[in-house]
Structure 1
């Protein structure tokens, strides 16, 4: 061991310790990167890793791994990495010790029972092959995108540019673009091909060239969202606050007591739609990676705003219906299962709902198993529902219209909390 340690030092790698260094949760917890330059440690399977420097070159983005600094990242690590052998080479050089034998793996017996059952479910999912993609399914998805695009041109070419053909020609590209967005989402989660490299390559083509957005930017933000959904300062989807919206009771009361009034939040349920839409159109228009010539040409024409208007409307309601009505608060360092279930809800399954939402009506299953191909959500849903029932966790599933309405209801409630605290806090 001494020779191995000496050889490691000469080679520039971390020396191999004769005995692992033991740490307590308290020692790990204070290495959370809370202050600039502070160390960042995290725990995976009771082993302690120093990711202070590695976080800057983490393939999934620096912040997503930093969000688990000072915490147990075991289940998040498993959820994000299908190919464990590929990432083990990175982990070895980051290992600094392990938890002391007297340190619990779980904070409570309730959490222990929930996570043990979930990990057993994860093993069942892997044995059933539910993490393996069906390439034929995704080929049909991509084919129907091409058909929608071709149909738009054919309608205008054959019927001319009168009002009805023109509107039909505008609707088809909108449908194609939103469905392309769901498809690139699949690619971003590496659920279309077995090899991550193929997913990333095709995603770059789809989102960079066909949608005009940078893939690296999208992945960096979306990975953070999945790591800590609905957590202030960690979920980028909440970063528009408090400039536009006040979501959740905690932030609303906090802003009210601070007498901050960036917007009339008590009316946010009325201006929610237009604010999100303008933000999305502005982001697309100013993206430097719009490589598709058709976008560049159409940017000079006012007719481009109709497809973007329809696409943005569609995207806004679908992307927000599963999260805004759920718990929104600061990171409470909950376990992986509780974090995802408290921040997500489902929309009832139907052929239309599956297609309309790109299978994101199964948001619970998608968040628990982010690399699972979408065509397998319905298979694991009964197992997840059973797990929730066993542990007394509500498994929320609504109709599509109820989910849309709950967005406005939750915004109205948050706005009222802000107004009450602003006037009387």
Structure 2
């Protein structure tokens, strides 16, 4: 309450003061040149990914009819995960100054190489960035197989309720289906009746990529091995993507639909960073700097690490909690949170900021 009184007494008023917390930080970041494009970094990354895809393709052809092809399926999944990260960066317009160049790079990477719709994903992802973990606004916490609120679990009955009470333990195994789910959701979006001209072009690219991929597998391998190759590749791809996105918001406070928050608090309080060094940076495609990414969505990936100390210090100076944990700790938090939603009906709105607003 004393903080609220202090805010009200501030000469600029609480809304202006809260807004200035972000604008002041953004000005500092721009002055340091951290929003500058990093063309060399991204051209190198894209070149290496294309080379890796070519190497995997060559390996598949040379191995022929062999169960060692399952190793190549795993390798392909890892490379396609890096393709998805690059498409994510381009969709956020981190690579080029031109919006069109970014959009088409994201489209060719996602649709042509990974077989997913960047249009579908960007529409969904933009809503998430606008209101992370906010009920009714963030599509990433919509009710589905996994329930994120006690109310959602409470409405379940029978076998579905049994699953909900233990959903944390099923979360990561379910990620093996995420790769297939992404392809299905992409096609459902692109093939709908009211698709735009660009979406029809994207649909043609995605369908060509997916059908061509399956055709090549069936030409090179017997049906059994081709099916196993496809299943392994989709499962590992789904796990890699899901394990990169899940730690960043799952288990952080959920926000009531009607609550209004200033931009800095909205992004920082609902996000979690993952520490771990170069391997984590590579394996998570820079998403381990989730707080910085949410504050500066168009910041090139290599600059996120550089801006982190500035953001952490800024948050500490203004009393905004900044969350960072290790990778495996984050997974334990996700599992515990999902199990607690069903087993102990913990209030998902428990958060110092929310309690302050309630007061």
- Is the CA contact 1:255–1:418 (under 8 Å) kept in the aligned structure 2? no
Match of 1:382 among 309, 317, 320: 309
Higher CA-based Rg: 1
Counterpart position of 1:244: 145
1:137 aligns with 2:41: yes
Counterpart position of 2:73: 170
- Is the CA contact 1:269–1:408 (under 8 Å) kept in the aligned structure 2? yes
Structure 2 vs 1, CA of residues 280 and 236 (structure 1 numbering), >3 Å: closer, same or farther? farther
Match of 1:352 among 267, 279, 302: 279
Tell me how far apart the structure 2 counterparts of residues 319 and 276 of structure 1 sit (CA, whole Å). 11
Report deviation, 1:159.
4.8
Counterpart position of 1:123: 27
Structure 2 vs 1, CA of residues 167 and 256 (structure 1 numbering), >3 Å: closer, same or farther? closer
Match of 2:119 among 216, 241, 244: 216
Report deviation, 1:391.
1.8
Tell me how far apart the structure 2 counterparts of residues 369 and 107 of structure 1 sit (CA, whole Å). 28
1:38-57 residue pairs with structure 2 within 5 A? none
- Is the CA contact 2:178–2:238 (under 8 Å) kept in the aligned structure 1? no
Match of 2:50 among 133, 137, 146: 146
- Is the CA contact 1:354–1:361 (under 8 Å) kept in the aligned structure 2? yes
Counterpart position of 2:238: 312
Report deviation, 1:276.
4.1
Counterpart position of 1:269: 168
Match of 1:179 among 68, 77, 82: 82
Counterpart position of 1:328: 254
1:392 aligns with 2:319: yes
Tell me how far apart the structure 1 counterparts of residues 63 and 42 of structure 2 sit (CA, whole Å). 32
1:281 aligns with 2:199: no
Length-normalised TM-score, structure 2: 0.79
Structure 2 vs 1, CA of residues 354 and 212 (structure 1 numbering), >3 Å: closer, same or farther? same
Structure 2 vs 1, CA of residues 298 and 274 (structure 1 numbering), >3 Å: closer, same or farther? farther
- Is the CA contact 1:151–1:172 (under 8 Å) kept in the aligned structure 2? no
Unmatched tracts of structure 1, length 5 or more: 1-103, 421-425
Count, aligned residues = 309
- Is the CA contact 1:190–1:196 (under 8 Å) kept in the aligned structure 2? yes
Report deviation, 1:107.
12
Counterpart position of 1:408: 335
Report deviation, 1:185.
0.3
Report deviation, 1:386.
0.7
Length-normalised TM-score, structure 1: 0.67
Report deviation, 1:393.
1.9
Structure 2 vs 1, CA of residues 314 and 387 (structure 1 numbering), >3 Å: closer, same or farther? same
- Is the CA contact 2:179–2:235 (under 8 Å) kept in the aligned structure 1? no
Structure 2 vs 1, CA of residues 172 and 294 (structure 1 numbering), >3 Å: closer, same or farther? farther
Tell me how far apart the structure 2 counterparts of residues 285 and 299 of structure 1 sit (CA, whole Å). 19
1:190 aligns with 2:78: no
Superimposed CA distance per residue, residues 347-371 of structure 1 (whole angstroms, 9 cap, x where no aligned partner): 1151111110110110000001111
More helix by share: 2
Tell me how far apart the structure 2 counterparts of residues 216 and 156 of structure 1 sit (CA, whole Å). 31
Tell me how far apart the structure 1 counterparts of residues 137 and 168 of structure 2 sit (CA, whole Å). 24
Report deviation, 1:258.
5.3
Structure 1 stretch 106-115 or stretch 341-350: which is displaced more?
Answer: 106-115
- Is the CA contact 1:298–1:304 (under 8 Å) kept in the aligned structure 2? no
Structure 2 vs 1, CA of residues 216 and 158 (structure 1 numbering), >3 Å: closer, same or farther? closer
Report deviation, 1:118.
2.2
Counterpart position of 2:212: 294
Report deviation, 1:419.
9.7
Tell me how far apart the structure 2 counterparts of residues 219 and 355 of structure 1 sit (CA, whole Å). 22
Structure 1 stretch 168-177 or stretch 319-328: which is displaced more?
Answer: 168-177
Tell me how far apart the structure 1 counterparts of residues 154 and 75 of structure 2 sit (CA, whole Å). 47
Tell me how far apart the structure 1 counterparts of residues 275 and 180 of structure 2 sit (CA, whole Å). 29
Report deviation, 1:256.
5.5
Structure 1 stretch 150-159 or stretch 327-336: which is displaced more?
Answer: 150-159
> RMSD between aligned alpha carbons?
2.6
Structure 2 vs 1, CA of residues 159 and 244 (structure 1 numbering), >3 Å: closer, same or farther? closer
Counterpart position of 1:363: 290
